[in-house]
């Protein structure tokens, strides 16, 4: 039986290097095979996942020798960290390894939505010529509002400022005297930021307090014609309220990389049918060729470190 089980996709070279020293079982589709996953974990000491494998008490019961869970990314929504701690299992996110990729995705989405013209391909192919409707806005001079001001938000701010944007951020957990505020305008209220931003980007974890943080009431506080971007966690945005805000013209556009239901099913996606000013990507903001290599390397280094430290 394998020492290390990897249930979702990662860089093959990182797998091969690890397999020199450890018995590794790698199947990027293993997340879809619950019974086989549990069987393979019966003697495994390490499990490596992305965001789809649900590392809960039920799965952990099948892994009595497990001592580390490596997360190919940073979000821990799919991992019961309290249960892992209770069982003495170390959880290792790949902190910082995909920050650049997410920041670039956010900036790309903001620029695309503000300009607007890139959403017109269907009309053009039908023989229409929507030039007047496609007159969009420049990025320079606009205000980017960041909800949450951690590492990814800060990298996003650097890129936004390079494009000539002003950046405002709201994060009640960062002290007012923190040096991070030197490069952006610190907003003291959530609604205060929503009222001034031309584009709002979310950078918060999914918690009881942040679920539906962006609901209909919050969207009503945004500038008319503003755009909303979410590459943080599904559930932070009330998707029904978003569809209404876009359809009514309250918001000029939105981009989502994460959803309340993942993978997004046809039924869950019905709410967005007919909403044209919307960009949807499949939870891929933090995954590029380059970041996949970085995340994979960091994760396997983390796993190795824990395994070596736990040797009898």
The residues that are catalytic are: 233, 262, 283
Alpha helices in the chain (DSSP H): 12-19, 34-40, 57-61, 81-86, 99-115, 121-125, 151-162, 190-196, 216-221, 239-247, 266-269, 289-309
Q: Which residues contact 246 (CB under 8 A, 6 or more apart)?
A: 253, 254, 275, 277, 278
DSSP lists the bridge partners of residue 186 as 169
Give CA–CA dist 8/31, Å, rounded.
Answer: 6
The phi and psi torsions of 33 (rounded to 5 degrees) equal -120, 75
Task: Answer whether the bond into residue 151 is a cis peptide, omega within 30°.
Answer: no
> Please, are residues 147 and 191 in contact by the beta-carbon 8 Å criterion?
no
DSSP lists the bridge partners of residue 144 as 167, 199
At residue 310, the 3 state secondary structure works out as: coil
Per the document, the length of the chain is 312
Say how many C-beta atoms besides its own lie within 10 A of residue 264's C-beta.
18
Instruction: Single out the residue of 307, 287, 284, 308 nearest to residue 296, CA to CA.
Output: 287
Going from the C-alpha of 295 to that of each of 92, 96, 251, the distances in angstroms are: 11, 8, 34
């Amino acid at each position: 039986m394998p020492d290390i089980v990897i249930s979702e996709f990662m860089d093959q070279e990182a797998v091969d290097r690890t397999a020199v020293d450890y018995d590794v079982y790698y199947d990027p589709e293993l997340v879809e095979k619950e019974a086989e996953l549990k069987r393979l974990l019966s003697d495994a000491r390490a499990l490596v996942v992305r965001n789809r494998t649900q590392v809960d008490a039920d799965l952990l019961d099948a892994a009595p020798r497990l001592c580390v869970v490596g997360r190919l990314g940073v979000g821990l929504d799919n991992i019961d960290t309290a249960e892992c701690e209770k069982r003495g299992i170390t959880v290792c996110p790949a902190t910082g390894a995909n920050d650049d990729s997410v920041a670039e995705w956010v900036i790309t989405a903001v620029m695309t939505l503000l300009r607007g013209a890139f959403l017109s391909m269907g009309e053009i192919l039908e023989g229409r010529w929507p030039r007047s409707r496609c007159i969009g806005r420049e990025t320079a001079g606009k205000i980017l509002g960041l909800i949450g001001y951690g590492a990814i938000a800060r990298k996003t701010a650097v890129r936004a400022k390079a494009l000539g944007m002003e950046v405002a951020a709201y994060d009640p957990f960062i002290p007012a005297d923190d040096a991070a505020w030197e490069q952006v305008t610190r907003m003291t209220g959530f609604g205060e930021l929503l009222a001034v931003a031309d584009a709002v980007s979310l950078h918060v974890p999914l918690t009881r307090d942040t679920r539906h943080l962006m609901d209909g009431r919050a969207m009503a506080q945004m500038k008319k014609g503003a755009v909303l971007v979410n590459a943080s966690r599904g559930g932070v945005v009330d998707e029904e309220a978003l569809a209404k805000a876009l359809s009514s013209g309250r918001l000029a556009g939105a981009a989502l990389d994460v959803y309340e239901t993942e993978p997004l099913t046809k039924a869950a996606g019905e709410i967005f049918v007919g909403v044209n000013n919307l960009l949807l990507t499949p939870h891929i903001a933090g995954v590029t060729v380059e970041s996949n290599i970085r995340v994979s390397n960091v994760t396997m280094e983390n796993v190795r470190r824990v395994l070596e430290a736990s040797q009898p």
